[in-house]
Structures are given as structure tokens and as C-alpha cells.
Amino acid sequence: MRNLLLFLKRYNSFFVFLFLEILCAFLIVKYNHYQRTQFLSSSGVLTAGVLNVKNGVTNYFSLKQQNEILAEQNAALLEQIINSKKDIPKQEMLFIPEPEIVTRKKYEFIPAKIIDKSTHKLHNFLTINRGSDDGIYPQMGVVGPRSIAGIVHKVSKNYATVMSVLHKETHISAKIKKNNHFGSLTWDGQNQFIVQLNDVPNNVPVQKGDSIITSGFSDFFPEDILIGKVEAVSRLPGSNFHSIEVELATVFRNLSQVYVIKFNDYQEIIDLENATINE
């Protein structure tokens, strides 16, 4: 026994080292590998306060650029309003729809500000300054001024973390605009400007420069939101599918203002699907 104690005393630092590294290994597996970031994550109370203050300062540096992006988006929206008015024939304008139909919006956009983000890891997250108090819940889609940004992951009272498109586990249902063929969008973790569109069969014509948009099949995003443009198409030997590289329209490095999409029928659809499965 005495020898054992002497042994422990002699190599005490080695045992402290061993203990701490095992603790680290445990933490890494628990909090990172399966992306279970609920505890100690940046939506935590401890860090969100500091990050918020930091954001209050750093916001000013990119104001000019953000203004330009928002102005660009405003212009596009104005264009849409004007064009849609012209499309409606005069006699139909006289028909007054029931108030129920007018006030019921299928999608609502909740503006949010990014207070923290990463772009250079394999699993990238954004932290936004809206939480459950603002009606955010997990699995909501998040879009930037130019295109999609990610999917809400965890929500605390005033903050939420968003699984960025640049996250290896993110899958988004997408389609090619010109011929409506569907595919699944993933990221291989290499280049923060390029994502991959999978599951598009070889016989579908795809060219460089084709627009990729959301399909509307998932509950996260409405149909027809721009994702990006085809950057390169190649065919893997022995595969029946195209290998398509898509250049994202969202530049994550200077993304700061986003909108969380509230899908008002979400709960109804989920309940219906659950009822069907449990039948």
C-alpha cells in the first residue's frame, strides 16, 4: 500500500494529465461528435452576454456593406410588388377576398441578427439574437438577404444556434430551376463557398451557371428560394448520378442580418404526419 502511494506521489503529474485528457475525450465525444451543443454552447448564458457586447462594437465595421446588401434586397422586393400588381386583371381586383384568406399568411419572416458564427470548421454554427421568446423553435429555416443560411438547431430564451449550410450534417432539399429535377444539398467540409448537389441522375441536362433553388419539399424553406449557381458538373466513373458543385449565393463571412422563416402550418403538418404514422 505504501509503495502504491509512493508510486502515485512520484508520478502525480502524469495521473493529473491522464485524468484531464480522459475528461477532455469524454467532453469532446459528448458535446461535439454528435453536435449536442445544448450545454456550454454559445447560446448559453455565460457567453451570449459577452458576444452581444462584442457584436455591438463590431457591427459598425460592416454597416456600409450590410446597407448595400439590404438595399439590393429592397430593390428586388419592390420590383416584385410592382410586377405582381400589373399581373392582376382589373375585373378581378373588384372581387374582395374574405378577410380570413387575406390575413392568414403561410410564411412569416422574423428578422434576426447574427451575434456569433464560424465558417472554417467542419461543423459550422451561427448564433442569432432571437430565441423562444420571439417564437423561434428548432427546425425553422433561416435565410440571409441573398439566399438560404441554415436551420435552427437549439433555442434558449433569447438566443438560438443555427446549423449553417456549411455543416456536414445539414441536408437541404433542392432543385434545378430550369427543369425542376430534385436533389439533396450537402457540404463536404472543404470550401466555404461551394456546396454539393447529390442524387441528380446522369440523364438530366445540367450546365454551369444553372440556378439551384429550394424545392419546398422540406418544412424548413418555402419553394423557390435561391441557393446558388452551378459551378462545375462532373461524372464519377461507375456512378449513375452527376457530381454537381454549387457556388453559394450567401457569402457566410459577411453575413450579419438574417430572417427566420416561420411556417404557420408546421405544427398542423407534423401532427397530421404523426397521426398517420401512429395509426
CB of 29 to other proteins, least distance (A): 8
Q: Choose between 15 and 217: whose C-beta lies nearer to other proteins.
A: 15
The interface with other proteins within residues 89-108 (CB under 8 A) comprises none
Where helices occur in the chain by DSSP H, the ranges are: 2-10, 12-28, 45-58, 63-87, 90-94, 99-103, 266-278
User: How far is CA 72 from each of CA 59, 194, 279, rounded to the nearest angstrom?
Assistant: 19, 23, 49
Q: Pick out residues in 193-252 that bind other proteins (CB under 8 A).
A: none
Q: Which of residues 23-52 bind other proteins (CB under 8 A)?
A: 23-28, 30-33, 37, 40-42, 44, 46-47, 50-51
Contacts of 278 by beta carbon, 8 Å cutoff, 6+ apart: none
Stretch that binds other proteins, among 16-24, 91-99, 213-221, 228-236 (CB under 8 A): 16-24
- Quick one: which of 10, 93, 120, 239 contacts other proteins (CB under 8 A)? 120
Residues binding other proteins: what is the number (CB under 8 A)?
40
Instruction: Return the residue of 8, 45, 49, 58 that touches other proteins, per CB under 8 A.
Output: 58
Estimate to the nearest angstrom the gap between the alpha carbon of 256 and the chain centroid: 13
Instruction: Using CB under 8 A, pick the residue from 52, 73, 119, 184 that binds other proteins.
Output: 119
Window of 77-85, 91-99, 117-125, 221-229 that interacts with other proteins by CB under 8 A: 117-125
**CA–CA dist 258, 261 (Å, integer):** 10
On whether the CB atoms of residues 174 and 195 are closer than 8 A, the answer is no
User: What's at 149, amino acid-wise?
Assistant: A
Write b or e for each residue in 24-61: b if 16 or more Cβ atoms lie within 10 A of its Cβ, otherwise e: eeeeeeeeeeebebeeebbbbeebbeebbeebeeeeee
Q: CB of 42: closest distance to other proteins in angstroms?
A: 5
Give CA–CA dist 117/193, Å, rounded: 15
256 binds other proteins, rule: CB under 8 A? no
Q: What are phi and psi of 193, to 5 degrees?
A: -105, -10
The residue from 112, 114, 115, 125 that contacts other proteins (CB under 8 A) is: 125
Q: Which residues form the interface with other proteins (CB under 8 A)?
A: 12-14, 16-17, 20-21, 23-28, 30-33, 37, 40-42, 44, 46-47, 50-51, 54, 58, 118-122, 125, 161, 189-192, 253
